Amino acid sequence: MKRRDFIKLGFGVGAAFSLDTLSGLFPAASAEEPAATAGGKPSLVAVRGGDRVAMLDAALAALGGINAFVKPGQSVVIKPNCGWDKTPEMSANTHPSLVGHMVKLCKDAGASEVVVFDHTCDNWQRSYRNSGIQEAVEKNGGKMLSAADESVYRDHESPSARNLKKAKVHTAILDSDVFINMPVLKHHSGARMTACMKNAMGLVWDRGFFHSHDLHQCIADAVLLRKPDLNVLDAFAPMLRNGPKGKDENDLIATHSLLAGTDIVAIDAAASKLLGNADGDVRHIDLAAEMGLGEKDLSKVAIRRITLA
């Protein structure tokens, strides 16, 4: 889809909202929407077929627009996956166009400040820079925060967690009004898949704790550190193998999708299928569902599927 087409669509979506109905807006969308979406907003929006920014706009439109999540004057923290010193084409990090666009949307919605950080695996400055995210964020009026020093983390307790009852969490997560989780979908050699829940490992100081105290359980527990107000998953060119760092472009598949929503478990369950996993393959999804953090049975989830022509 060309940008021009998208803008047309965007106007269409806007106009539709003013009419207070959504029916018939997305002619290519699947007809078998669960009844749940008829009344309220979907908890999972799956978009495919457009460029990343267009898909994000379409997903947000279906979720009620950015204004449903960000109110004027609120501070926003966006947590992309920006953990590796890799260029955007390698899909090891969330694509900068998405992060930049989200910063812009938040700013336009009246956010007092938009901060972005990740506790990176590779050197943080190189990862911020070479992922393209730093430039995209700063260009759109956001601010990149360091997460490379223990002093920017604060103790946080989550009593209902099973293993990760206490962790040092980045202060931006604890102090911001709105938390937007923006990971990228990838294969993961240990957790089998990294998407929305796994992205929370970049919120804490001691990642080693996760690995040594049942990785899957800790990933599920990490949702309790702070549940994201909105999750946006970049599944445009997911890494199918050799994840999460990847070797070369041959590791990527062309999915051209984006998932967004408020149910973190549902998004991960759907994302898992995009990578060809069977139910039960990714244990942290089952654990999180078991803990009541979201719905893993997609037949019970209000999904809106959108295909951009």
**CB-nearer residue toward other proteins: 21 or 151:** 151
Binding site for other proteins (CB under 8 A): 30, 46, 48, 85-86, 121-123, 125-126, 130, 146, 148-149, 151-152, 188-192, 207-209, 211-217, 240-245, 247-248, 250-257, 269-270, 273-276, 283, 298, 303, 305
Q: How far is the CB of 11 from other proteins (least distance, A)?
A: 26
Classify strands 192-194 and 153-157 as parallel, antiparallel or unpaired.
unpaired
Q: How far apart are CA 183 and CA 193, in angstroms?
A: 12
Nearer to other proteins, 66 or 92 (CB): 92
Least Cβ distance, residue 58 to other proteins (angstroms): 14
85 residue type, one letter: D
Q: Which residues contact 247 (CB under 8 A, 6 or more apart)?
A: none
For 241, residues 6+ apart whose C-beta sits below 8 A from its C-beta are: 187, 251
Distance (Å, whole) CA 167 – CA 182: 21
SS (H, E, C) 49-106: CCCHHHHHHHHHHHCCCHHHCCCCCCEEEEEECCCCCCCHHHCCCCCHHHHHHHHHHH
To the nearest whole angstrom, how small is the minimum distance from the Cβ of residue 19 to other proteins?
Answer: 27
Nearer to other proteins, 2 or 211 (CB): 211
Taking the C-alpha atoms of residue 209 and residue 103, their distance in angstroms, rounded to an integer, is 31
Give the nearest distance from C-beta 30 to other proteins in angstroms. 8
Beta carbon of residue 175, minimum distance to other proteins (angstroms, whole number): 13
Which of 66/164 has CB closer to other proteins?
164
Identify the DSSP state of 294.
Answer: S
Backbone φ and ψ of 84, nearest 5°: -125, 150
Name the minimum Å distance from CB 274 to other proteins: 6
**Residue 78: closest CA among 199, 186, 168:** 199
User: Token pair of 169, please?
Assistant: 């969490």
Nearest of 204, 206, 178 to residue 112 by alpha carbon: 178
Name the minimum Å distance from CB 22 to other proteins.
Answer: 19
